[in-house]
Amino acid sequence: MVTRTVLSLSGVTALALTGPTAFLAPLEWGGGPLTVDALPPFVYTAHRGGALEVPENSMSGLMTAFERGTAQVIDADTRMLADGTLVVLHDATLDRTTYATGPVNLLTAREWQHVLLRPQRHVPGFWRIERPPTVAEVLDRFGGRVMLMLEAKDPESLNRLSALIHARGLARSVFVNSNKPWVARRAHHLGLLAQLWRSKQQMRTDRPERWSSFVDVLDVDYKARDEDLRRAVNSGVRRVWAHTVTTPAQRDRVLRLGCNGVITDAPGLLTRTPVKGGKKAARRPLGPLNRR
């Protein structure tokens, strides 16, 4: 028997792994890729790798988030180049996070090789200069080893993104995120795990129960009103995760309101900080996921 130590809401938990179908069983045991079914009741997602702790959307930052083990899901943003290559970057331009300037969608894959990331000043530590990865590289490095969340910033890239995911057998290992309900529905019809994010303004008039048949994760703004968060939690969507949480107090509030996950720029900070109320709070039912 192998024992693996993992972080939980109430502290450190030791899991006994007894065979290839056990939770978090290593790939070497022949259990296949890690899938959504292995997620715990409450989920931490490292937003852009944990953008307050590592350089956002960089391979070194994503790898650091993976190796630290402070999140069960690692998030990255995707853009499409002029030749159809999918790459990892948040903005539509290169200006903020690289040493280059101009629109991302005018570059080719060959030109992408010369783009260099510029680590943000607020990120602690020293980081090597590197180019942003392609989506294929991220899938090949992490696919099946940890759950991934890929936001399709360019909706027209969805078919290409689907092909990359399906070709690697990762349809149950990658959430595909968008702000647009029609993109989430299309992702679902392509056999992908669909995630839909909504702003606090959108949540005032949203009727999230309309999406429960095709949305796997409803990604809600933690700054939304209590009543809007509760409506999302009670919508019938199985997983309701709040973004972009950066403090324990923000996490504890959305947990009290019934969310069963957070998307955070500071996964290390949150996993080091116990939930207010300790084990009692951690045992509280966490919305529809724990009621099924």
User: What is the per-residue DSSP string for 231-261?
Assistant: HHHTSS-SEEEEEEE-SHHHHHHHHHTT--E
Q: Report the pLDDT averaged over residues 19-31.
A: 43
Q: Is the pLDDT of residue 14 over 50?
A: no
pLDDT tens digit string along 211-228?
Answer: 999 999 999 999 999 999
Angle at 288 between CA 144 and CA 292, to 5 degrees: 80
Domains annotated for the chain, with CATH where assigned, are 36-92+133-272 (3.20.20.190)
Angle at which helix 181-189 crosses helix 158-167, to 10 degrees, equals 40
Q: What are phi and psi of 49, to 5 degrees?
A: 95, -5
Q: Report the pLDDT averaged over residues 173-184.
A: 98
Q: Is 222 helix (H, G, I), strand (E, B) or coil?
A: coil
Q: Is the pLDDT of residue 22 over 70?
A: no
Q: Is the pLDDT of residue 283 over 80?
A: no
Task: State pTM to two decimals.
Answer: 0.87
pLDDT tens digit string along 114-151?
Answer: 999 998 889 999 999 999 999 999 999 999 999 999 99
Give the up-direction half-sphere exposure of residue 199: CA atoms within 13 A in the CB hemisphere: 4
DSSP H or E run through 281 = helix 278-282
Q: Is 136 helix (H, G, I), strand (E, B) or coil?
A: helix
Task: Provide the β-strand partners of residue 194.
Answer: 176
pLDDT tens digit string along 224-245?
Answer: 999 999 999 999 999 999 999 9
CB neighbourhood size of 214 (10 A): 16
Listed residue (208, 272, 262) closest to 235, CA to CA: 208
Provide the 8-state DSSP code for 13: E
